[in-house]
Structure 1
């Protein structure tokens, strides 16, 4: 059977790569008018920079603003597409791509697949989260159909949901090394470091535990070995 590809579709990529530059160009075109309007207010802040922006109205100045906006939009669109999760579901295994990383997960290692919120979660035989990441176009029926077509063990919810407990600093139920990793991960989450948080989750799993997030709070559970 042909592989199923989950993530941004070709049309989605076209919309993002074409729409962001267009939106950026429109913002650049509107900036002088917005600056002029703000300068008319009594409390207008940043008067100097706003007057410089206002002078871009017309001629080469306006063309430059539109071009800069379009280029910035194109850069943002490219990053959005490049960093979006892409999963190729095949008969033998999964190919997981994100940014410059590409890894494979053998089908024989997969014990459960489900969607939690907007995240795709794949568990291995020891309940490790070998995949837990936001997946665009993650409508549950579509994702379930793709995995079921290739014989993967789909479940409607996390089979280990009841084992998760909220983490607090220096929790006595956890080894010091795990507490240290979760403390570092909490700081990464506060700073918006998604890549660091994912890497630290992998480090936690090497020590026999796993973690998931909810409302900026970490929840942990021990790995369950067969």
Structure 2
């Protein structure tokens, strides 16, 4: 994908590395397990609030106190939390930045190809990376995980017009 002998190689930015995937899985797994463990207490409390809708179903959820549910709810919460974590990791965009084009991949497949000639500016907006045309039309906007300075450097090395802090 390089245009010449001196062109920098395609750089891949975004996505989660191994420690990032472990952090996301641990965070969502622990959150799901905690929510599963606290569900009866939260349901009982919410069922007693006079303004809360669906008080009957909430009281019913809070009344489940079978012994197997003491460990079953946290296990179900853990599994659901890990499923959400897997979805977050897989759905995070990965960008292959080359001298001629930017490939946006999600779930292992190319979702979009942005030709270099169309790119007017690349800049961060909050936690998102935005690629726009000269006329201001958005070509890509999304959360790109990773070190902001490495993401910036990947675009600068290939001559893309970076607008924003030097991270």
TM-score, shorter chain, exceeding 0.5: yes
Whether the 8 Å CA contact 1:85–1:135 is kept in 2: the answer is yes
Measured in 2, the distance between the counterparts of 1:63 and 1:75 equals: 19
**Given the two structures, how large is their TM-score scaled by the length of structure 1?**
0.54
User: What is the aligned partner in structure 2 of residue 64 from structure 1?
Assistant: 72
Q: How do 1:70-219 residues align onto structure 2 when only pairs under 5 Å count?
A: 70-98=78-106, 102-124=111-133, 127-137=136-146, 139=148, 141-156=149-164
Tell me, yes or no, if the aligned pair for 1:115 and 1:138 is still in contact at 8 Å: no
Q: Secondary structure at the match of 2:32?
A: helix
Check whether the contact 1:87–1:94 (CA below 8 A) recurs between aligned residues.
yes
Paired residues of 1:38 and 1:44 also in contact (CA < 8 A) = no
Per the TM alignment, residue 28 of structure 1 is displaced from its structure 2 partner at its CA by 0.6
The 2-side partners of 1:92 and 1:101 are apart by 16
| Aligned length, in residue pairs | 155
CA distance in 1, matches of 2:55, 2:43: 9
Please say if residues 10 and 97 of structure 2, whose CA atoms lie closer than 8 Å, have aligned partners that are also in contact: no
What is the TM-score when the length of structure 2 is the normalising length? 0.69
RMSD: 3.2
Q: Which structure 1 segments of 5+ residues have no match? A: 158-226
Question: Aligned to 1:154, what secondary structure does the other structure show?
Answer: coil
Equivalent pair of 2:102/2:116 in contact (CA under 8 Å): yes
SS in 2 for 1:16: helix
Q: Structure 2 vs 1, CA of residues 44 and 71 (structure 1 numbering), >3 Å: closer, same or farther? A: farther
Give the deviation of 1:19 after TM superposition: 2.3
- Structure with the bigger RCO (C-alpha within 8 Å, sep 6+) is 2
Stretches of structure 2 that go unaligned for 5 or more consecutive residues are 1-8
- After superposition, where does 1:8-87 map in structure 2 within 5 Å? 8-36=16-44, 43=50, 48-57=56-65, 59-87=67-95
